[in-house]
Structure 1
Amino acid sequence: MSDLNLISQGTGDVELDKAIAIAGYAYDASQDIFISTMDPWQRSIGYCRLYDEAAAPMGMIIDSDPIYFVYKNKKWMVGIWKGQYDMVTGGEVGVYTNGVGVKFPKIFTGIYYQSAGNEDCLHMAFTLKKGNRVLFTREGRHWWLTGFVLGEFSEPSELTMDIKITLESAEMRDAFLEGMKKTGYSEKDVKVHGNTVSFTFGHPRSAQPFTRTPKTDRIIQRKNELLCQSYQEITKPYATFPEKLEAIKEDLPGMYRLIMNMGKSKQVFEIIVLLTLLGAVILTRHAQRQLED
């Protein structure tokens, strides 16, 4: 189903539909999940490691594995994420390219990537499972394939993603496989059929953000768990999302406002990171001009 169909289908709450559209998402009623659209505002800001570092302080306890590789003389990154995003359990697969090195002392040193353009989107699919229970399945040609279940609480370690990615050529496939190897995936972890690579993202192979510590994870997750428990208790008698939302609106107006701001936390911290990087660029260029003068 296309993003346009999902948006027109809606949640049954016009105000919420507008809010999630602005946040870059749409509602898939067939699976009762929220998904990212093809051209949300997030597409314009790309990716850098600081985004992952900022996630936990903003209430998102998520595992991540960035897979880096070089193809056609461009630096690529395929990122995979899963875990608890405040009040939602979710998973993501993102494609980023045109990586360039940036260095801002005391702020950030690493690679900044652009979100993949339409010509660089890949056909991807994943199934997010909690233990043996399938939460949802996503598939399509995309640059950022996602799914989020509202009111579901999970520890990242409980979740697995069965992922399939079809690369555009054998050369790209081999470069991606080399990137997986450097990330820590072994040959037995991966299945290859033509240019399609299949694997399961369970425990992360790469180093996780410094902001993820056992103590802070416990504190943030207890808050997330309480929110999800409250949501489940209030909505248990209702079958449809509009009914659930109306119950939340009536019984827990504070939680309703939180749902209305769904996606805002991610939006806020990514904008802050982007502004920080832009500010550093401006200051660096200003200092260079002063030296030249």
Structure 2
Amino acid sequence: MNNSELIDFEDNTLSEGTGNEDLDELIEIFGYAYDPEQDIFISRMHPWQRRFGYCRLFDELSSLMGMIIDCEPIYFNYNGKKWMIGIWKGQYDMVTGGEIGLYKGIFNINLPGISSGIYYRSANDDELLPMSFTLKKKGKVLFTREGTHWWLTGFKLGEFSKPSELSMDISIGFPDEIMRDAFIEGLLKAGYRNRDLEINENTVSFTFGKPRTTQPITRTRATDWIIQRKNKFLCDEYLRITGEQGTIQEKVRALEEQSPEIYEKLLTIG
């Protein structure tokens, strides 16, 4: 699947979807779509999340919202602007997933005692980068994503994982050597070494396993244990209810009938 096909796939109504029109419509409203080939949920090109950009506070709040994820923000300067490429992997409530996001700094924020730093807007359409990643669990491939994007994601429903079990093989292409080298400098400042990187013309490839950057202060052993117990329970319940069902359509129907509360959580993927 080439990049243009992937963007079309995400921006148009999917021909198959989940088989539940109401759920497909709600998932689209929440910024996602279903990829039946890989049995994953993915973010669209123009979801509502694009309007809100990124700041560090979002990562700090993630565990409080049921997401136990490794965060790897890579900061760099290019063309007189501050940029951030964020990478995330882990357990998002009842899904295992990974993300790459592209953001451009617009102003500083200072919330005493809460958060400070740069607030970033999501990349514009003329700033998108070709990117890809393969998410693996204990070395086994879960899924692969590829496209020219600002927020490339994948989420596998009912899969429970510890962030430490996951790795992402990542490739990101840049429009010129200047931006490429600026990103490489950001990777090196984050703790990566030259031998960790593979450079092919203006494309940089590397593996995100153990985070090199400081993780959110809300990621403690206690919070991880408490929230992951809840996340595993949700995944176990999903598998128990849908275990005899073959297709996503059948699984959705089973959830809707047997566990409306878990069915509703499908709407907040990622």
Q: What interval of TM-score do these two structures reach, taking the shorter chain for normalisation?
A: over 0.9
**Secondary structure at the residue paired with 2:255?**
helix
**Alpha-carbon offset, residue 136 of structure 1:** 0.6
Match of 2:103 in 1: 96
Q: What residue identity is the alignment partner of 2:238? A: Y
* Unaligned ranges ≥5, structure 2: 1-5
Deviation per residue, 1:59-78 (Å, 9 max, x gap): 10000100000000000000
Residue of structure 1 equivalent to 2:160: 153
Question: Residue 238 of structure 1: CA displacement?
Answer: 1.6
Aligned-residue offset at 1:6: 5.5
Maintained 8 Å contact 2:11/2:46: no
Deviation for aligned residue 1:99: 3.8
How do 1:189-268 residues align onto structure 2 when only pairs under 5 Å count?
189-259=196-266, 261-263=267-269
> For the aligned residues, what is the CA RMSD?
1.2
Q: Which residue is equivalent to 1:85? A: 92
Mapped to 1, the partners of 2:15 and 2:49 lie a distance apart of 21
Distance across 2 between alignment mates of 1:17 and 1:196: 35
Show CA shifts across 1:194-235 (max 9, x none).
000000000000000000100110010011001101111221
What amino acid is aligned across from residue 138 of structure 2 in structure 1? Answer: G
With the length of structure 1 as denominator, give the TM-score of the two structures. 0.87
Q: Post-superposition shift, 1:102?
A: 2.1
Report how many aligned residue pairs link the two structures: 263
Calculate percent identity across the aligned residue pairs: 57
Looking at secondary structure, tell me which structure has more helix per residue.
1
SS at match of 1:38: coil
Equivalent-residue separation in structure 2 for 1:99 and 1:200 (angstroms): 29
Distance 2:69 2:260 in 1: 27
Larger radius of gyration: 1
The separation in 1 between residues aligned to 2:59 and 2:248, in whole angstroms, is: 30
TM-score, normalised to structure 2, is 0.94
The alignment partner of 2:175 has SS state of: coil
| Cα deviation code 1:16-52 (max 9, x no counterpart) | 1111111110111111100000010111111000000
2:115 to 108, 119, 124: 108
- Can you list the C-alpha shifts for 1:140-194, whole angstroms capped at 9, x where unaligned? 0000000000110000000000000001100111000000001110111111010
Q: Do the aligned partners of 1:76 and 1:99 also contact (CA within 8 Å) in 2?
A: no
In structure 2, the residue corresponding to 1:31 is in which secondary structure? coil
2:160 maps to a residue whose letter is: F
Distance 2:263 2:105 in 1: 40
Instruction: Note the C-alpha offset of 1:14.
Output: 0.8
The question of 1:16 aligning with 2:23 is answered yes
- Give the C-alpha shift of residue 109 in structure 1: 1.4
The residue identity in structure 2 corresponding to 1:115 is: S
Structure-2 change in CA distance of 1:101 and 1:8 (3 Å): same
Taking structure 1 as reference, are residues 18 and 90 closer, same or farther at Cα in structure 2, changes over 3 Å only?
Answer: same
SS in 2 for 1:11: coil
Q: Does 1:129 align with 2:129?
A: no
Give SS of 1:245's match.
Answer: helix
- Cα deviation for residue 237 of structure 1 reads 1.6
Q: 1:137 to 1:198 in 2, by over 3 A?
A: same
Moved more, 245-254 or 108-117: 245-254
SS at match of 2:253: helix
* Unmatched tracts of structure 1, length 5 or more: 267-293
